[in-house]
Amino acid sequence: MAMANPREPRRITRTIPAAQLIGLLLAFVLTAGAGGVIAAGLVIPLASGVDTTVDTGVEVFDELPEELVPGPLSEQSQIYASDGKTKLATFYAQNRIVVPLDKVSQNMKNAVIAIEDERFYTHGGVDPEGISRAAVKNFGGGDTQGASTLTQQYVKNVLIEEADRTGNTFGVMEAREDSLSRKLREAKLAIALEKRMSKDEILQGYLNIAQFGWSVYGVETASQHYFNKSAKDLSVVEAATIAGITKAPSKFDPVQNPKDAKERRDLVIGKMWQLNYITTEERDEAKATKISDSLDVQPLDVGCDSAGGAAFFCDYVIKEIMSSPEFGKTRDDRYDLLYRGGLHIVTTLDTKMQAAAEKTVVEGVPADNAFGLEAAVTSVEPGTGQIKSMAQNLPYDVSAEPDPGTTAQNYSADYNHGNSRGFPVGSNFKPYVLAEWLRSGHQLYDTVSAAGYAPYQTEFTANGCVHNFPYKRWDVGNVEGSTSGNVSVLQGTFQSLNTVYARMSQQLDLCNLQKTAWDVGFRPMTSALTYEGEGTFRTIDQPQQKDIDVFASMTLGTQASTPLNQAAAFATFASGGTYCEPIAIVQVKDHDGKKMKVPSANCKQTLEPKVANTVAYAMTKVFSTNPWGTAWSIAPGLEDGRPVAGKTGTTNGATQSWFTGYTPELSTSVWVGEASGETPHMNVILPSTGWYNPSAKIGPLYGGTAAAPTWRRYMDQAVVGLPKTAFPAPDPNLVGKKPAPPKPPKPETKEGDSDSGGSADSGDTSGVGGDSVGTGTGTGPGGGNKGND
């Protein structure tokens, strides 16, 4: 058998990994001109069979781009309550908090330099000594050794980040691939970068962009996650732990793999000692520390789930950002800003009020109640529109397969902010009617019959707006009571008498009522009329004044709205006639700390102060017991005795119930019902709610029996610390003259001469315990309201 010539050079034919080849190439190209010919000579003879590839590599190297301009890093955005300190939620595409280098401890800087690039401050982007050493070692048969500098690693991460930010999946793959062209590109860009950035700028960039665990980017995020402290406060052992992770974030995760993490950490500590960053005593003490003893792991929360009971408010904030042009021209722009822009978002949420809302809504209507009832509580500050609280009885769950008894629907909000179409408001609409009554020159002490009533709908008036008045009767009645005869409009208000309000609306132009309701702040979510007046049901995403349905029974609240919208509308009465759109955000700063424009409440005087104040006066009587008002169960109001005003609301069959009330400082709406809106609740067990409802009882779901007690329990806590301000006096010209009390009955009367009803203000107390309910019989648009109080 022929023997191979031992003197013939052995030709290399195996595939050479890119890491080894780049070592050979760069050792030659980058060191030959600076006294590195000897180092290159140690390597090149080993590569006698790959000289063609090297020549090609040199040519490729010359053709590579020379400039890299790092853009802003993807950074987490954080949402805070109004105090600016209580964090509600975090959002990110990459979980990162960017900090300047002076906010990073010297221990951390030393640790990363020691383990990743000990000659960082002496090389020019690539490390000839490291390349030569790695090439010799790799070709000598030992473990593969890399030679990338911190600058090269920074370049690689920047290329990955920029590709990821633009959705360039192939760009991400290219930046990570083990190829000659990628290594050459990184090397050349690193050399160019060192010419335009200082060493400290590069180190700062690296510490902020590097990955330090699953969904942990940047040294500040890592410090807060693993040790619950800022990066500026990291000790030797903590810094070494973090620095050791980036080589293999999963393998060296100290939470998931503490054994591997300790070995890696101790290696870092040893390198720090070798480079005289720490003393022998510090080294020994650090190595003796158990991984578990050093950690104080904080959860990696993302999204509104972490906001707890405030999750629905958090969800509202996110939807506000995603729909507001202040945060970008397109939805994609806004999404990118939220998840990558490092926003610091301060909201309107009051933590004390929010805690009270979360507690009381569950107490009043437990999530596991036997009747399938849902409930929501929402507060708005009069004069500013700021949303102060938002809670509901069912927990928040946006997962694909939510747990039973949870929901992602925000009952307080509209469709754009919570996927809700609202609920019919019932007699919560009557204050808008009263406002138009006063605007039209009428008075509180005008008298109107409270007797049963069945007018033809064609007997109503609407000039200049789309309406529907079919030629059919509308039967109107009151709940429980036998209140009849002539009563004042004031009594009709606090006793919520449907027959009184139906007769009032017959004396009004209902197109004017539509305008007044809009001016005050009523915002419909659904409509039974088209703009042409045809009877077709439709949903409303961006309500306008013309979306308020005009037909005979509108006065009894047949259209749906939301607790948030009702709270904002009643805040118009509380503020003397100023309507403010609800707002959830007070301040947003970008990643540079610059303030951004936020959505405005657009506060405007939309109702005359004298009308607003007189309506408020009438609504204070709702809490009276003699004569009774529909909120008699929580009389005389709040525990601290401050002035309050409000109105109940109940729909047909008690499917939905409301109480919306306010002080001059806070307007709150409570809704209790069923989201489906189809199930009557005439026989439910209502829980004990304190002295004003000392024991559970069975009864209809009226606004005064479930929503009102929940409102009071919440408001008693929410107003603590707020000024006790009296409502302005009503306008005497709008109140009118109180009628004289009725004459006592004669000792003897002839048949048919007996008094037919209660007096103007004394009222018939036989109706105590319920709201007034219409018994309408019509169908279709304007066909009547069957049971709104």
> pTM for this structure?
0.83
**Crossing angle, helix 18-29 and helix 180-196, to 10 degrees?**
50
Question: In the numeric block, which tokens belong to residue 598?
Answer: 């936020």
Q: What angle do CA 28, 29, 32 make, to 5 degrees?
A: 65
Q: What is the four-CA torsion angle of 246, 251, 253, 259, rounded to 10 degrees? A: -120
Question: In the numeric block, which tokens belong to residue 442?
Answer: 């009428």
CA pair distance 648, 654, nearest whole angstrom = 12
Question: In the numeric block, which tokens belong to residue 79?
Answer: 């949402």
* Residue 749: HSE in the Cβ half-sphere, 13 Å Cα cutoff: 9
User: Which residues are registered as beta bridge partners of 647?
Assistant: 660
pLDDT along the chain (789 residues), means of 10: 40 41 48 35 36 45 62 93 96 94 97 95 84 52 61 91 84 78 84 93 96 94 96 97 95 95 97 97 96 94 93 97 96 94 97 97 91 95 98 92 91 92 95 98 96 93 93 85 82 95 97 98 88 71 94 94 98 98 98 95 98 98 90 90 96 92 98 87 71 59 90 96 96 90 49 29 32 36 41
Amino acid at 368: D
Res 695: pLDDT: 55
The SS3 of residue 557 is coil
Other CB atoms within 10 A of residue 352 CB = 15
- 479 φ/ψ angles, rounded to the nearest 5 degrees: -75, 145
For 330-462, strand residue ranges (E) read 344-347, 374-380, 387-392, 423-424, 447-449
DSSP category for residue 381 = -
Res 705: pLDDT: 85
235-239 own/partner pairs: CB under 8 Å, 24+ apart? 235/105, 235/107, 236/107, 236/111, 236/269, 236/272, 236/278, 236/282, 236/286, 237/265, 237/269, 237/285, 237/286, 237/289, 237/294, 238/107, 238/294, 239/105, 239/107, 239/108, 239/110, 239/111, 239/112
- 327 φ/ψ angles, rounded to the nearest 5 degrees: -110, 15
CA pair distance 213, 200, nearest whole angstrom = 24
CA pair distance 630, 227, nearest whole angstrom = 56
Q: Which residues contact 4 (CB under 8 A, 6 or more apart)?
A: none
360 burial via Cβ count (<10 Å: 0-12, 13-18, 19+) = buried
Burial 273-297 (b: 16+ CB within 10 A, else e): beeebbeeebbeebeebebeebbee
Res 194: pLDDT: 92
Preceding omega of 627 cis (within 30 degrees of 0): yes
CA pair distance 703, 693, nearest whole angstrom = 14
Rg of the chain over Cα atoms, rounded to whole angstroms, equals 37
Other CB atoms within 10 A of residue 661 CB = 30
CA pair distance 585, 81, nearest whole angstrom = 9
Q: Are 672 and 700 in contact (CB under 8 A)?
A: no
CA distance to 10, 50, 293, per residue, from 5 (Å): 10, 21, 63
Torsion-angle region of 476 (φ positive above 0: left; ψ -120 to 50: alpha; else: beta) = beta
- 685 φ/ψ angles, rounded to the nearest 5 degrees: -95, 120
- 525 φ/ψ angles, rounded to the nearest 5 degrees: -105, -20
| Residue of 675, 458, 456, 477 whose CA lies nearest to 563 | 675
Preceding omega of 325 cis (within 30 degrees of 0): no
CA pair distance 351, 763, nearest whole angstrom = 42
What are the DSSP calls for 451-468, one per residue?
S-B--BGGGSB--SS---
CA pair distance 409, 524, nearest whole angstrom = 18
Query: Helices (DSSP H) in 507-608: which residue ranges?
Result: 510-520, 563-574
Other CB atoms within 10 A of residue 329 CB = 8
CA distance to 488, 608, 701, per residue, from 501 (Å): 11, 21, 22
What is the total residue count of the chain? 789
User: Which residues are registered as beta bridge partners of 673?
Assistant: 374, 656
Query: Helices (DSSP H) in 64-178: which residue ranges?
Result: 106-116, 128-139, 150-165, 169-176
CA pair distance 499, 544, nearest whole angstrom = 29
Res 777: pLDDT: 32
DSSP category for residue 290 = -
